[in-house]
Amino acid sequence: MPYTGRFAPSPTGPLHFGSLVAAVASYCDAKANQGNWLVRIEDLDKPREVKGAAETILRSLEIFGFEWDGKTVYQSKRAELYAEALTALQNKNLIYPCTCTRKEIADSSTKLGIDGVIYPKTCLHWPVKPDLPYSQRIQTNVSEITFIDAIQGEIKQILSKQVGDFVLKRADGLFAYQLAVVVDDDAQGVTNILRGADLLDSTPRQIYLQQRLNLPTPHYAHVPVACNLADEKLSKQTLAEPIDTRLSGQLICNALSFLGQQPPFEIKNADLNDIWHWAIANWALTKVPKLRQIQLT
Ligand code: GLU
Ligand code: ZN
């Protein structure tokens, strides 16, 4: 399989330094391995989408000199593929409908997992009221998932204890990120995933789905996430500043430094071509700090 990497932003706001870091990491690693690099807009959650954000992100990537292969893929247009995967899992009797509201789950659950309370399987044990909208959950009976992250090392999770039966399709009809990302990474032939360490806890769920769907597991590397002084991940919610495209060269160098690469001082004022040339020729995954987050000062 030829190396294929990707950058998969959600269009919830313009590109900020945190997302630039993920883009730079996946781009340099792909190019340093003579690989392809794809861009996928993760616009599944239409209610959370900010109008025009996808175009702004793509325009910023162009200005920064990123060159991607093939057409940009939009998740909002791929519901059929996700539905097929869900059917395949249903045929294996792994899926059950759930009509519980958030409040009902909070009131009935007794265990806390890494992503909130663990769903107590109420709807698996008692049949659901058929006229209510329902989500679709996958069973996670004692599934221990282990993988080696190229930066963070060995990661182990027992899904049933730490996550519980998770939602693949929401009651409002939208497919969940966990399912869509697995289907798309496979459909696009992605072999290497470099992304922010905020997604490290999601990776075992994705590997579990790959295993149940008989799909290969790509190589994973989770880079540190940029945080503000309050230790919050940079995002639209924490009011991260959008990236200033006039400072493209400097910001790429800052992202490289953040990733433990050591761009020479002179290169900061060089033109974008020279910066990318340096970045790809000198890219060293081994230099990326083994941290889940780094505070920007
Ligand atoms: N769309 C996700 C985000 O912006 C990234 C998904 C991924 O890289 O797997 O956080
Ligand atoms: Zn339920």
| pLDDT at site 239 | 64
Is residue 79 in contact with ligand 1, taking CB distance under 6 Å? no
The arithmetic mean of pLDDT across residues 228-235, rounded, is 82
Percent of the residues in the chain that have a pLDDT greater than 90, as a whole number = 86
Query: Could you say which ligand is closest to the alpha carbon of residue 12?
Result: 1
Degrees (nearest 5) of the Cα angle 185, 205, 168? Answer: 80
Cα 123 to middle of ligand 2, angstroms: 4
Pocket probe mutation, ligand 1, options 58, 72, 199, 210, max atoms within 8 Å of Cβ: 199
**Looking at the predicted structure, is the pLDDT value of residue 69 above 90?**
yes
Q: For each of the domains in the chain, give its residue range(s) and CATH number, in order of start.
A: 4-78+219-295 (3.40.50.620), 80-177 (3.40.50.620)
Entry pTM = 0.96
DSSP state of 36: E
d(CA 234, CA 7): 17
Looking from the CA of residue 9, the nearest atom of ligand 1 is 4
199 lines ligand 1 (CB under 6 A): yes
Rounded Cα distance between 228 and 239, Å, is 10
pLDDT tens figures, 93-116: 999 999 999 999 999 888 999 999
Contact 261, 255 (CB under 8 A): no
Mutational pocket test of ligand 1: of 177, 178, 200, 234, the residue with most ligand atoms within 8 Å of the beta carbon: 177
Report which of residues 241 and 255 the model is more confident about: 255
